[in-house]
Amino acid sequence: MLIEVKATLRRGDTLVPLIFISDGTHPSNFAGDKKEWPAYMTIGNLSSKIHLMPSAHTVVMVALVPIPIKIRDIPQKRVDEQWQMNREVLNEVLRQVLQPLTFKHNPNAESG
């Protein structure tokens, strides 16, 4: 896929890799067993010197993912189905977040 994307780039274009991270987190000790599922974004080719500086704000939250149902005491097949659904929900949330940033490549457009 990367080769296909590179083939659409014109002279002077830049490809910026984005990395998305998501994991359940407890909002506080007072929330009981409630969880939040934030999705974070960072730029993939930052130097470690910059990436490790807390003041650089290199990781930003871009969405709160809908909380998946708890998986317990159910057959393995159902667990696998739920994990697949969780992945699909995360992909759709990120698709919605990134939609305003996408554009259709127009080979007839003049290079700016």
> Does a structural domain hold residue 48?
yes
- Residues counted in the chain: 112
> Does a structural domain hold residue 107?
no
> Does a structural domain hold residue 6?
no
Residue range 104-112: average pLDDT? 51
> Does a structural domain hold residue 67?
yes
- Please report where in the chains the tokens 């993912």 appear, as a residue: 65
- For residue 40, what are the domain limits? 14-101
Kindly tell me if the per-residue pLDDT of 5 is higher than 70: yes
Helix (H, G, I), strand (E, B) or coil at 40: strand
Domain total in the chain? 1
> Does a structural domain hold residue 44?
yes
* Spatial separation of the C-alpha atoms in residues 90 and 57, rounded to whole Å: 23
Q: What is the pTM of this model?
A: 0.61
* Spatial separation of the C-alpha atoms in residues 7 and 53, rounded to whole Å: 34
